[in-house]
Structure 1
Amino acid sequence: MKLYRRICGYATSAVKQDVQYQIPIAVRSLKSNPIDHNQNDVSKFYTIEPKTVSKIFQSGGLPKPFVEQTQVFAETALMIRKPALEVINNLKIANYEKPAVRYLMYGKTGSGKSLSLAHILHYAHTAKFILFHIPYVPIWLKYDRKEVTWSSTKEGFADIPLVAAQWLKHFLHQNETILQELNLTTSKEYTWSIRETTPPGSTLKDLITHGINRAKYACDIMDILLNELKMHCTNNKCKMIVAIDGFNAFFNEKTDLKTEDRVKVKPQQITMVQTGLSAVKSDWNNGAIVMITSPRASLNTRRESHLPIYLIGREGFQLIDPFIPIMVPELDKIEFNNMLDYYEEKRWLQKPGGRQELEFLSSRLPAELMIRCAPL
């Protein structure tokens, strides 16, 4: 009988302890529209609607581990952080009659640069900017059985036609609605073959669709599309944001790509890379350019420093100067604790306590913190 009472007593006390412990609720912003975000929302989470996530990020833009996490949590929640908010605030007050301003976001691997860019892209999409978005440059430069052919229009350069066609699909998916609203058209005739031409006054959607259906022309159409968009922006017909993740990969010494005749090509020999480098030139107005550098994007060399001078070198600096540098740091104390509260709320982190140990192990890097919390 005494043993029974002891067991029942232990069970009752365990239940009481479990009842006493309340799962933390992460601090969230009530503003789902990024246009409304301000300094009062820093370190808070906000949720992006599924249809918006599908519209902007269906073909890339969110890190794969984060996407897997959002599927488990059944929501896409981003933390509002100062670096993204700084760019967004600048976009709100910018003088778009002047040349496009360049922003370079940098920081340690896993500090949250890509998710900060995702926040900026969500703002730009909501504010009706055209998105010229390159989700991650190194994907272009890895072998992965890509078809590489010599360009028929640019001597000494190589095309990656299927990759360019895939990017055109990505661009059209992001911007189809606004392209229909603005009804932007081509400024001149483009001849592809004896029987194939794009007459002046054709919609940009028709131009893009031609590149998707005829992949051999996709690289040239990607370049033409950029030039047409720059012209329309300069003529005050639209606004555009150029967003490039893994920007420093443009300046790698080599790639994994080989042409059909087994010739290795350098990044600067690829027509899509030349288009990307042209996109960051500040020779147009009514827009902005946001670039991200990352040590992980340096494919062939070890980069021990995350500072841009080590990642893009003198050549890169000369290309994008002047620009506004924006560092994406590790989480501060408030952000760190709010992220752990979010994980506990979602039962991603099921064992309370140990926050100091997690802080030490993760160095308060959000990507590392997510990995460390997964098995707990």
Structure 2
Amino acid sequence: MLAKQSLKLYRIPRMCAAFCTAPAEAPVESLYNRPKLVPTDYRTSEQSTDRHSSVHEAKFYTLPPEQKKQLFTGGGFPRQFEQQVKTFNEACLMVRPISLELLNYIRNTDFKRPVVRYVLYGENGTGKTLTMAHALHYGLQNNFLLVHVPWVPNWMKRPKETANATSPEGYIDLPFDAAAWLVHFKTQNAKLLTELDLKTSKDYVWSKREATPVGSTLLALVEHGIARIKFASETVAALLSEVKQHATDSKCKVMVAIDGFNAFYHPETRIFGDNKQRITPDMITLTQPFLDITKYDWTNGVCILSVDKIGMTEGYMESYMPRYLLGKEGFEHLDPFVPLHVRDYSEKEFASCIQYYLDRHWIQKTPEGFDEQLKYLSNKNPYTLMQLTRSL
């Protein structure tokens, strides 16, 4: 009989293939002969987004921890990127050409004219959400009142709780999601709202015993919606209506940023009505207020919206183009708008990202050619590159 040989299995790191395929004859010295990049090649110490220009292109800048906490505690970073931020103990964003283009448009906006809508579009994982994050940081540093929805499909696919709306009949409330958004709005804008001291323009009656009188601060309005979750969706509608009016009256500048905007125009959601049928997004009370604030019937503001294939509830999306994802109704709602195509990394951006990972000891220097293999495997797609180099 043949003796059975014991076999041992070892877990091979995901990047092993990329790191271990150099020719056997490659000289060991090649590890040390590669040109080294100094920190200024891929980092910049300029944290003021207002000063970002082509000089900083493809370089990483660091968000101050307190501003990162203020902006993104309630969401706004992709989940895996947020995990990477925690691992690296710093939040760094790359200054990309599309971000510079967007910021340049905003800097040169005539805010006396109707609000301009910018639509970020592109393939999955190209960086639409982080481009929006860069713009939000600009808005925070330049005293814009922020109206930010981190990811609309969360409301359409997996709401925390649903309830029948008191009016209109047959509509659905998302009370906990509405309250969570009000907390997010307060976190981002509490300091600015206190300085601006914006007041409500009319009485808001919630029940026979509860009302928010004319002349109340917007912070008081927000806090009421947080404390009385039952009325959170109605509070969101009242708040956005007041924000539009105050902006038009030149009392504040407003930046609207909505990620996954096309989910508002999907044929159906994963929420079931009383008839056991899936309802459409327009039957959710949170939908209309955010559609209203993305119209061009107000001034002193800017709207930054993204459309995304994975933002749709069901089915395979063949195209990432705005007309396809928004449908006829959604496209006509935003028309005219400025389209901004977010693309994969350029050669310079890819090299900068690899150098950043090396600096953070997230990947390890290996024989010549590993970065070319990463480039081949990821096709320079930012999300795919992050997936390939993630921890086991």
| TM-score tier after normalising by the smaller chain length | over 0.9
**2:360 equivalent among 311, 327, 346:** 346
| 3-state SS of 1:35 partner | helix
Closer, same or farther: CA 276–297 of 1 in aligned 2, 3 Å: same
Q: Structure 1 residue 319 and structure 2 residue 351: aligned?
A: no
After TM superposition, the score normalised by the length of structure 2 is 0.88
1:151 is displaced (CA, Å) by 1.5
1:326 is displaced (CA, Å) by 0.4
Given that 2:146 and 2:188 are in contact with CA atoms closer than 8 Å, whether structure 1 keeps it comes out as: yes
What is the rounded CA distance, in whole Å, between the counterparts of 1:174 and 1:87 in structure 2? Answer: 21
The match for 1:180 is 194
**2:211 equivalent among 175, 194, 197:** 197
Structure (1/2) with the larger helix percentage: 1
1:301 is displaced (CA, Å) by 2.0
What is the rounded CA distance, in whole Å, between the counterparts of 2:301 and 2:115 in structure 1? Answer: 5
- When structure 1 is superposed on structure 2, of 33-42 and 322-331 the one drifting more is 33-42
The amino acid of 2:115's aligned partner reads A
Q: Give unpaired runs (5+ residues) of structure 1.
A: 1-12
**1:147 equivalent among 155, 161, 176:** 161
Q: Structure 1 residue 117 and structure 2 residue 102: aligned?
A: no
Given that 1:150 and 1:157 are in contact with CA atoms closer than 8 Å, whether structure 2 keeps it comes out as: yes
The amino acid of 1:221's aligned partner reads T
| 3-state SS of 2:286 partner | helix
- When structure 1 is superposed on structure 2, of 235-244 and 274-283 the one drifting more is 274-283
Alignment deviations for residues 257-276 of structure 1 (CA, whole Å, 9 cap, x no partner): 12467453211110111122
Alignment deviations for residues 268-287 of structure 1 (CA, whole Å, 9 cap, x no partner): 11011112211211111001
Q: Structure 1 residue 360 and structure 2 residue 357: aligned?
A: no
Q: Structure 1 residue 127 and structure 2 residue 159: aligned?
A: no
Given that 2:270 and 2:313 are in contact with CA atoms closer than 8 Å, whether structure 1 keeps it comes out as: no
**2:53 equivalent among 31, 38, 54:** 38
Q: Give unpaired runs (5+ residues) of structure 2.
A: 1-26
What is the rounded CA distance, in whole Å, between the counterparts of 1:198 and 1:375 in structure 2? Answer: 50
Q: Structure 1 residue 212 and structure 2 residue 248: aligned?
A: no
The match for 1:274 is 288
What is the rounded CA distance, in whole Å, between the counterparts of 2:292 and 2:316 in structure 1? Answer: 27
What is the rounded CA distance, in whole Å, between the counterparts of 1:331 and 1:312 in structure 2? Answer: 26
Given that 1:149 and 1:260 are in contact with CA atoms closer than 8 Å, whether structure 2 keeps it comes out as: no
1:111 is displaced (CA, Å) by 0.2
The amino acid of 2:344's aligned partner reads E
After TM superposition, the score normalised by the length of structure 1 is 0.92
Given that 2:307 and 2:322 are in contact with CA atoms closer than 8 Å, whether structure 1 keeps it comes out as: yes
Closer, same or farther: CA 108–196 of 1 in aligned 2, 3 Å: same
**2:84 equivalent among 69, 84, 87:** 69
Alignment deviations for residues 12-41 of structure 1 (CA, whole Å, 9 cap, x no partner): x97x88776686445112311101111211
1:147 is displaced (CA, Å) by 2.3
| 3-state SS of 2:225 partner | helix
Q: Structure 1 residue 92 and structure 2 residue 93: aligned?
A: no
1:93 is displaced (CA, Å) by 1.3
| 3-state SS of 2:295 partner | coil
How many residue pairs get matched? 362
